[in-house]
Structure 1
Amino acid sequence: MADIIVYNSNILTQDKLLPLAQAFAVAGGKFIAVGNNEPVLALQQPHTKLVDAANRTVLPGFTDAHIHIWKVGNLKTFLLDVRGVTSIAALQDKLSDFIKNNPGNGWIQARGFNEANMQEKRLPVKEDLDAVSEDRPVWLIRTCAHIGIANSKAIALSGIDATTHIPAGGEMRTGNDGKPNGIFTETALGLIANKIPPYTADDYAVMIRAAEKEMLQYGITAATDPAVMSDLLECYHTMHNHGQLKIRINALPVRVPDGSETSLPIPARFLSDQLQVHTVKFFADGGLSGMTAAMTQPYQNSTSYGVLRLTPDFFYPLAKEAAGKGFGIATHAIGDKAIDVVLEVYAQIRTAYPEILLRIEHLGLPSGAQLALMKKLNVHCVSQSIFLKELGKNFALYLEAERLNRIYPYRRVLDAGITLALSSDAPVVKDFNPVTGIRAALCRKDAEGNTIGPREAITQNEALYAYTMGGAIANGTSDFNGSISVGKVADFIVLNRLIRSDEDFATENDLHVSATFINGVEVFSR
């Protein structure tokens, strides 16, 4: 009757009707019994595989509800990873070595620098990249992917000069000579990126496989890729059709791509246990770590209010069109000004389409009134606690104490009754291990140990739920995954030991995933 039985476990099911269990049985890839050891073991048959968990903790598979899967894989395969560089000179050295190891005349692409961690405390400009290469185009993407730097060759090949039209919601910054200085932000990124030869379907497949391999090591069994263009979506469909996807993918097609002021067609809805395409993606602003999130007050020691990428008049008809075709709406909104725009449109959408799934991605600095409206409209919050650790230094530079203390307000989100889904937004961050993300939600410390907004800390149980059921709810898949419950797909992970209290996640220790199972089949072990 049972294909596999896991017993002698400390099972944190994330099912509020049965939060704790000792054992479960799996048949046909689904949980068929969850409870105490004795009744579950009674389901054993001659062919049943028994797994003695030896009192270790077992959880549902983690859901990363916002991770750029192909981009994670790209940094493992085709793209130069410059995360962690501490100076422009070190950046130039890495680029020079990469060019030497990749001869030819094609584009050089790199990603990951963070000026807050660099000696110069400034963005690179085209002259810094020209010093590395004047003959080949170089495109350098900041860690947040909301700012890019082009060398002179890339600017020339893209046909850009001081008179170039800049799409709404973007910037092309200029130097003292009035000419482009190489810095492009938000929608203006497309002025360069759209000139780079596209990846092939085979390239995307290589990237996806590379990302999935690491995700399974961290116990991630389901994930949302939150900005999918048509060529990538086609690759996901092809891999799904050939049974090549290892994790469960929720793909969010982009409605308005960078570099464009017109929308893309809405693809067909698609729903299977392995691939879902039922929610579209918009961008309302940029990022806090690069001061492009749209604010109602300027950044600390700056006159900048960030970059607003959407207006209600432009946003509403595109969102309504998608909702009318049965699609949910997910919108990147970090600053309070952007959140205002999104909620204004969401209120209209909710009136016309009461059942549509609505998400706000990131939600960096919402007000109390905005949280109350999110609850009223049933808008889910998909956010990234790991930002506090990896980008906290930037936040402290660009925000005064009042805003810094209420950034990424998970305590207030949960107290308002809003669904919280935690995620990583990798490769914006390097470490996308959910264990690290859970620790960040509990401790709220940056990489140097400084605490950011301690009153917004949440508990271990709340963070575990946000990385499992919270993600499933935000993905619209909570009917078949997210918890260890009878009838759901048997995606689960075994930790290397028993966890007893918040201290198990709150302290730096050896806690990790020992084994990952999807449909009751072991897909990773160490």
Structure 2
Amino acid sequence: MIQTIVYLAPIVTMDPDRPRAEAFAVQGDRIVAVGTAAEVRAAVPDGTQEQRLDGVVLPGLIDAHLHMERAGLKALDYLSDTDGVDRYIEAMRDSFDDDGPVAPPFEDRVRALERVQPLFHALGFTGIVDPAVTIDEMRGYQEAHRRGALTMRTVAMPYLEIGSAAIPDVDAAIAHLDGTGVSTGFGDERLRIGPIKVYLDGEALKGQALLEEPWDAAGYRGEQRLSTGDFGRLVSWCAEHGWGVGTHAVGSAAVAIVAAAYEEAGEAVRERRFQFIHAYLEPSAESIASGARSGTIASLQPSIIWHNGAGLRRSLGARAERANPVRSWLDAGATVAFGSDGPFFAFDPRFLMWQAVTRRVAGEDEPLAASEAITVAEALAAYTTGAAVAALAEHHRGMIRPGYLADWALWADDPLAVPIDDLLHIPVRRTDVGGRTVHIQEPR
């Protein structure tokens, strides 16, 4: 017989139909009732076990842009067996320029996942989208899943390195995808294939982001890594054959090219979770509106702006002030999903929500323009309901709602109720994935 448990605690459900509750019931891996204590008790058999929780319950968070397997390989290099998440955050910050091992032994990939998942669960994460999964990384995820060791719900975005020896051009990429026999959405609740990942431009701090206005007086506008025609052809083929596309497009000109190609692709964009990835440097109002109309997900990373904000100010002056325009994306009606680009950038969700609200950047006294700031509630939605869309899971994750998977975290305080700087220090006391406890805070 499947066990049912009633949990009593203040609950931030993220469900617009019932934003707050005081109890929920879990049966097996699903939530079966949410509401007042009396309502939940009435929905379950008499004598059902009850637990009163010390804290505030939130849906499990989803990092929509996290290189988890690589994060685990770095954890193996930098952590002792007893180090916890606070030490991990420090170690990844201090090893910012180390991308980790290039060709690790296969068994290390599984060990890496086993080591790092508890660290992310300790931050309240129950799911991730890995935005650039190589064939070897996919084998690592699949083997961890086969062994029952994949506790994090994972969406793997296959990375096609167009221009490499293996995938020299768009035709080779199409042939590769056509030969797999699967497409976006294949898998189960633990491991699923997401959209493919491609690059249209480069990195902003290296001056590679493709801009509509020049970087400098010489007229340099950045790098375009795929021609507009080839990119459009790839997007069109993917839309017709069941694949989503997530495109690294940092600068305004790159975002405009992506927006136009996606709008041409039709309903597949919404169905297969096409993404703007990064899209933080001068995207036009027209591009943002186009993305919102077509159902494209804006996969944004406040962490990158924290790290890069000062450098962008030095390069672009006042043009950098609206970098990462989350407010504009939301106001246009786009689905915004937050991620971190961890472990290479900061990945603590408390810190990233704080950054999106305060617009503070490393090494600067003055925040970026407050006109692009958002609220804590909006930031939390980007980690729950918005990220659930990116994870092809909006009908069963991202909320505390009957019928949804029992993915939740117990925070010591309500992030929506504390002063913004206090958000940085709220510990996560417990995390459950599908009704199974994967993190319990150790007593201090």
Name the TM tier (shorter chain). Answer: 0.7 to 0.9
Cα distance in 1 for residues equivalent to 2:26 and 2:270: 36
Question: Which residue is equivalent to 2:50?
Answer: 50
Amino acid at match of 2:285: G
Cα distance in 2 for residues equivalent to 1:518 and 1:428: 25
Cα distance in 2 for residues equivalent to 1:246 and 1:475: 16
1:452 deviates by 0.9
Cα distance in 1 for residues equivalent to 2:372 and 2:62: 22
Question: Which residue is equivalent to 2:308?
Answer: 391
Matches for 1:72-471 after TM superposition, within 5 Å: 72-78=71-77, 112-113=96-97, 198-257=103-162, 259-260=164-165, 261-262=168-169, 263-264=172-173, 265-266=176-177, 267=180, 268-269=182-183, 270-299=186-215, 304-350=220-266, 355-365=271-281, 366-401=283-318, 403-429=319-345, 431-448=346-363, 449-471=365-387
Cα distance in 2 for residues equivalent to 1:315 and 1:258: 13
Cα distance in 1 for residues equivalent to 2:429 and 2:163: 40
Q: Secondary structure at the match of 2:24?
A: strand
Cα distance in 1 for residues equivalent to 2:115 and 2:315: 35
Question: Which residue is equivalent to 2:60?
Answer: 61
The 8 Å contact of residues 262 and 269 in structure 2, kept in 1 or not, is answered as no
Q: CA RMSD in A?
A: 2.6
The 8 Å contact of residues 216 and 523 in structure 1, kept in 2 or not, is answered as yes
Residues 258/53 of structure 1: CA separation in 2 closer, same or farther (3 Å cut): farther
Residues 79/349 of structure 1: CA separation in 2 closer, same or farther (3 Å cut): farther
State the Cα deviation string for residues 38-58 of structure 1 (Å, max 9, x = none).
Answer: 22134566884422124x321
Residues 79/298 of structure 1: CA separation in 2 closer, same or farther (3 Å cut): farther
Question: Which residue is equivalent to 2:69?
Answer: 70
Cα distance in 1 for residues equivalent to 2:6 and 2:135: 41
The 8 Å contact of residues 4 and 520 in structure 1, kept in 2 or not, is answered as no
Cα distance in 1 for residues equivalent to 2:92 and 2:122: 21
Amino acid at match of 2:72: G
Cα distance in 2 for residues equivalent to 1:370 and 1:377: 11
Q: Secondary structure at the match of 2:429?
A: strand
Identity %: 28
Cα distance in 1 for residues equivalent to 2:378 and 2:133: 29
The 8 Å contact of residues 223 and 247 in structure 1, kept in 2 or not, is answered as yes
Residues 75/300 of structure 1: CA separation in 2 closer, same or farther (3 Å cut): farther
Cα distance in 2 for residues equivalent to 1:47 and 1:289: 60
Amino acid at match of 1:223: I
The 8 Å contact of residues 504 and 511 in structure 1, kept in 2 or not, is answered as no
The 8 Å contact of residues 2 and 43 in structure 1, kept in 2 or not, is answered as no
Cα distance in 2 for residues equivalent to 1:31 and 1:480: 10
State the Cα deviation string for residues 421-458 of structure 1 (Å, max 9, x = none).
Answer: 111011231x3111111111111101344301211111
1:231 deviates by 1.9
1:521 deviates by 1.8
Amino acid at match of 1:386: S
The 8 Å contact of residues 438 and 463 in structure 1, kept in 2 or not, is answered as yes
1:271 deviates by 2.5
1:354 deviates by 7.0
Residues 406/43 of structure 1: CA separation in 2 closer, same or farther (3 Å cut): same
Q: TM-score, normalised by structure 2?
A: 0.86
Residues 58/242 of structure 1: CA separation in 2 closer, same or farther (3 Å cut): same
Q: TM-score, normalised by structure 1?
A: 0.74
Amino acid at match of 2:67: H
Greater helix fraction, Structure 1 or Structure 2: 2
Cα distance in 2 for residues equivalent to 1:84 and 1:408: 21
Amino acid at match of 2:262: Y
